[in-house]
Amino acid sequence: MKIAVLPGDGIGTEIVAEAVKVLNVLGLPLEMETALVGGAAYEAHGHPLPESTLKLAKDADAILFGAVGDWKYDKLDRPLRPEQAILGLRKNLGLFANFRPAICYEQLVGASSLKPELISGLDILIIRELTGDIYFGQPRGRRIASDGHFPGVEEAFDTMRYSKPEIERIAHVAFQAARKRKAMGKEGRVTSVDKANVLETFQFWKDVVTEVGQQYPDVALDHMYVDNAAMQLVKEPKRFDVVVTGNMFGDILSDEASMLTGSIGMLPSASLNANNQGLYEPSHGSAPDIAGKGIANPLATILSAAMMLRFSLNQEEAAQRIEAAVQKVLAQGLRTADIYSEGTTRASTCEMGDAVVKAL
Ligand code: IPM
Ligand code: MG
């Protein structure tokens, strides 16, 4: 099983090192190869996603990704910025289905900024479309406009766009995920999040999701405007089961959902293409402000490795072993700074990884 390991920038290298440690003790025939990506690749090769890194990723069964980005690159031309590496990987590999579960671990109920009763037992799944929408729509750019109300004024524009097949395939992913959850005793309902009251793109989204939903009579479907969804997520998060939405709304709502669980440092994610080839990364970013201090939480990346074993490598048992080991370490009271509370034991990034290895 070939894994491309792309640690990236900031805390990326620290947290990926811990996940690799964990993967190495499973006794599986994993072939891991590491390459530079993001700002690190820009420094070494002048490009955030060098050909060699892209090729390694394409040839792998799965990609374990850390994080990219640093404020120091904000002045670079957009195609050279670290973020283009992850966007380029998503687009080039066709990783259109992004799974961002928000699960509240019982031991961390107190770490959330919400009241415990609102989030205890929370287990929702955000499915974000990842290769379309305003992120990739053309045309986009900046120009001096010579018509309209403000002649000669500089303006910038992006295009929000979805094709029917793009919406259909992500809708199928959501309905199938809800069906699986139902079989596991969960509610099995899809909430499609849109802005159909204002945007043509999202009226279309709503229509197509509704149409696909007719093929899944066993799965309930409801629709919600994105502003209301943002509110409901903090008001009554447990009302959701599977949420499906476009690229940009999914970006925003998944950050919001992650904080319900106490820390974004706990949440893994998977981005899959039609062949189940996948990129696995923590939901959080490169956090340059805490990079190199050994305080980042490696659990989101370790749990991403578990998702990788489950979805792309067909190793359900190993995935469950990792998840159980993480639970065990939390039950022992070990906490990195982001989830620390009184009465628990502070652990560094490395100590947390070691503890998971030991639990395994
Ligand atoms: C994410 C990130 C990325 C995104 C950035 C780094 C391009 O915020 O994965 O959520 O906007 O998709
Ligand atoms: Mg984001």
Q: Domain boundaries in the chain?
A: 1-96+273-360, 101-266
Ligand 2 centre to CA of 217 (Å) is 32
- Choose among 33, 68, 17: nearest CA to 47: 68
Query: How many angstroms is it from 254 CA to the middle of ligand 2?
Result: 7
- pLDDT at residue number 149: 74
Position 261 pLDDT exceeds 90: no
DSSP calls for 266-297: G-EEEEE-TTS-EEEEESS---GGGTTTT-S-
**Per-residue tokens: 255:** 């950050």
Nearest residue (CA) to ligand 1, atom 1: 251
pLDDT confidence of 342, banded at 50, 70, 90?
A: confident
Which atom of ligand 1 has the smallest separation from the CA of 269?
Answer: 9
CATH architecture type of domain 1-96+273-360: 3-Layer(aba) Sandwich (3.40)
The CA 288 to ligand 2 mean position distance, Å, reads 15
Task: Tell me the mean pLDDT in the region 270-274.
Answer: 97
Give the pair of three-digit tokens for residue 195.
Answer: 């802005």
Check if 195 is active-site. yes
| pTM for the model | 0.94
Counted residue by residue, the chain has a size of 360
Instruction: Determine the pLDDT at residue 152.
Output: 82
For ligand 1, atom 6, which residue shows the shortest CA distance? 83
Q: What is the pLDDT at residue 150? A: 74
256 lines ligand 1 (CB under 6 A): no
**Residue 261 burial class via C-beta count within 10 angstroms: exposed 0-12, middle 13-18, buried 19 and up:** buried
Ligand having the closest approach to the CA of 65? 1
Task: Return the best residue to mutate from 247, 251, 256, 267 for the ligand 1 pocket (most ligand atoms within 8 A of CB).
Answer: 251
What is the rounded distance in angstroms from the CA atom of residue 308 to the CA atom of residue 313? Answer: 6
Ligand 1 atom 12: the closest Cα is on which residue? Answer: 251
The answer to whether 107 touches 263, Cβ cutoff 8 Å, is no
For the chain, state the CA radius of gyration: 20
At residue 137, the pLDDT reads 96
* Ligand 1, atom 10, residue with closest C-alpha: 251
- Which protein residue's CA is at the shortest distance from atom 4 of ligand 1? 251
Using the mean position of ligand 2's atoms as its centre, give its distance from the Cα of residue 309 in Å: 23
Q: Nearest ligand to the C-alpha of residue 135?
A: 1
Assess contact for 313 and 1: CB atoms under 8 A.
yes
The rounded distance, in Å, linking the Cα atoms of 279 and 325 is 22
Kindly give the number of the ligand 1 atom that is closest to the alpha carbon of 281: 9
| 83 C-beta closer than 6 A to ligand 1 | yes
DSSP conformation class of 30: -
Residue 255 falls in the annotated catalytic set: yes
Label residue 249 by pLDDT band (50, 70, 90). very high
Q: How many angstroms separate the most distant Cα atoms in the chain?
A: 66
In this predicted structure, what is the pLDDT of residue 163? 98
Q: What is the CATH number of domain 101-266?
A: 3.40.718.10
pLDDT in tens, 5-55: 999 999 999 999 999 999 999 999 999 999 999 999 999 999 999 999 999
Q: Which of 255, 328, 340, 354 is catalytic?
A: 255
User: In this predicted structure, what is the pLDDT of residue 230?
Assistant: 98
Asked whether 264 lines ligand 1 (CB < 6 A), one says no
